[in-house]
Chain A
């Protein structure tokens, strides 16, 4: 049987806006992925633990508060510490263009800002997750 691709959609930090995360989660569901949603206000440690327990291929981080430069790398560090080296990580939210190179340098595979077509996100996962 072909393994299903599993995606963790996570909300790190304190912002309480998850409409974007939910829209992306649904689009990924419709693309045939199994999507686990963390719910709001999770710490990087919690997110890494969930990624471990759920054996996900991908972690998608959603953040709209402006704390992405701190929290996204913190999640990456926590994933590494947990021993999850192969997980593909992407981010999304209201993120200024000029922050994107820094985030990519820190382990984010892609950053999707408002207006990104959902298909772009689906394609990113399809192209970056290695079958196992």
Chain B
């Protein structure tokens, strides 16, 4: 692993790719690899891109990449699509829309593998690898989300919520969940009819001017330069906010790490501890008294 970390730091593409797999599959030693790389991470901008299926997230990411490359930036993309809860397999189709080929762009497709918040549990760790490899921008595209998958807003510095004309009226904008996550609201497909009306809905729904609204068309490139500039300007103008966010992201990352270790412990305990299942069935104990007993016994030290 030592040499793998060294190669990642040199931005060797094979090693980056292999390191991403190592982390995703949680192969032995992956935590040491991440520990090595974390300390050597370079500053980067982590931008989340989320929105309903079919609003143009991948296509917009493609033109966003083009604009960043034109500005001589090194860009990594983590494109998440859902795993089947039935077979465990997945179709990862985001890169179909990503037509750009640049030496300085690294795109990795990731399946959710059972995570329910719209990203994979490995995203925090994958960002560590891309940081160490010197990618200045890391774009995370979520699965197509509904109203409630908001994990991305806890992992990225800035979240772009992508919508398209006809995504509902002002009542939809009032609903809790996804509508609360956008730092920037992007009305994509703004070459379609109804874009202006949709913008009016949005503007009337958010009196908080911290939420920024921008119209784009990924198809003809309209508004994309402005979007990239807007995101960059937030990094410059609201540096304190971004720093505060950084702490929240760290907390979230630690939570992922701990939850993973704990869920493994829970599996071990459930499968091997001397559970009094028969006592529960014959009525002398309950699942609740059993839980309390295991917690009291310090099951994490199991």
Interface residues of A (CB under 8 A from B): 1-4, 25-26, 28-39, 45-46, 49-50, 52-55, 83
Contact = CB atoms under 8 A, between A and B. Distances in A.
Contacts of A54: 17, 92, 108-109
Interface stretch (B18-26, B212-220, B234-242): B18-26
A125 B113 CA distance: 21
Contacts of A3: 21, 25, 27
B109 A36 contact: yes
A6 B86 CA distance: 17
Chain A contact residues, majority secondary structure: mixed
B92 A35 contact: yes
30 contacts: A1-B25, A1-B26, A2-B25, A3-B21, A4-B113, A26-B91, A29-B84, A29-B87, A29-B90, A30-B87, A30-B89, A32-B84, A32-B87, A34-B83, A34-B89, A34-B90, A34-B111, A35-B91, A36-B109, A39-B93, A46-B101, A50-B95, A52-B14, A53-B108, A54-B92, A54-B109, A55-B17, A55-B20, A55-B21, A83-B14
Interface in B49-93: 83-84, 86-93
B13 interface: yes
Contacts of A53: 13, 17, 106-108
B175 interface: no
Chain B contact residues, majority secondary structure: mixed
A31 B92 contact: no
Interface string B261-288: 0000000000000000000000000000
Given A3-B21, A55-B21, A30 B84 contact: yes
Contact of B92 (A26, A30, A37, A52): A37
A55 B4 CA distance: 15
B295 interface: no
